[in-house]
Amino acid sequence: MQHLTKEKALLAFVVASLIFYVFMLLVTTNTITNVSAVEANGVGVYWDINCSNIVSSIDWGTLEPGSSKNIIVYIRNEADEPQFLNMSTINWNPSKASEYITLIWNYSGRLIYPGEILQIKLVLSISRYIEGISNFSFDILIAGIQNCPGDINGDGHVNLLDLSLLARHWHNIPTYDPRADINMDGSVDLLDLGILAQNWLKGPLD
């Protein structure tokens, strides 16, 4: 009887060890690592408020499906005139990664004056449904622009054409259009409509 009990205990230990090993293997294989190159045009992107340490790339570290990571940067207008800010992502590798990963920021859409510095939070989010991607890369472009936030179609004015585009993708239906997501928070909603209304009928730097 004692010998049988020892065998059962040993069997239970082996089973528990196998379960733990499989669990750790699943966790390891589902983690996602990536790095983003950062390019700036007309502005400077820095790690510190003194603007002495340039952000040339961002290592997002290891992320789990369904998680997100916040990074704080400082953006300075380095042009001789007021500018708005624009952010975009390009060169996704693999290309399908952009279907599961989003990058947003907390820029409000206001005009930035020469030499002015803004603290900006970048948020990278990983979809819980991501599959087949263990690492990826993409480039972040942050630029100073002259067009008002709300000029969705880029014709230099905020008007009914822009409102129509925003309405067409309201709440990301039928699809998400980053042009209509004026504040780049991942959703076309009342916040974007508010920015558009604030700049209604304005042209470049009005």
Among 206, 154, 150, which residue's Cα sits nearest to residue 183?
150
The Cα 190–Cα 122 span in angstroms is 21
The Cα 33–Cα 136 span in angstroms is 7
Summarize the confidence of residues 112-140 as an average pLDDT: 93
- The CB density around residue 25, as the number of other CB atoms within 10 Å, is 10
The alpha carbon of residue 79 and the mean position of all alpha carbons in its chain are separated, in whole angstroms, by 25
Above 80 in pLDDT, residue 121? Answer: yes
Summarize the confidence of residues 180-184 as an average pLDDT: 83
Above 60 in pLDDT, residue 167? Answer: yes
Q: What would the CATH number be for the domain defined by 34-145?
A: 2.60.370.10
- Please give the share of the chain, as a percent, with pLDDT higher than 70: 82
In contact, 202 and 155? CB cutoff 8 Å: no
Give the CATH class of 149-206: mainly alpha
Burial of 4: CB neighbours in 10 Å, binned 0-12, 13-18, 19+: exposed
Residue ranges covered by each domain of the chain: 1-30, 34-145, 149-206
pLDDT of residue 27: 42
Between 135 and 78, the higher pLDDT residue: 78
Q: Sheet harboring 32-41: ordered strands across?
A: 57-63, 32-41, 135-145, 84-93
Give the model confidence (pLDDT) of 11-64 as tens digits.
655 555 555 554 444 444 456 668 899 999 999 999 999 999 999 999 999 889
pLDDT of residue 86: 85
pLDDT of residue 23: 46
In contact, 35 and 59? CB cutoff 8 Å: yes
For the chain, where are the E strands, in sequence order? Answer: 32-41, 43-46, 57-63, 68-77, 84-93, 101-105, 117-126, 135-145
Q: Kindly compute the dihedral angle of the four CA atoms of residues 64, 68, 72, 78, in this order, to the nearest 10 degrees.
A: 110
pLDDT of residue 170: 94
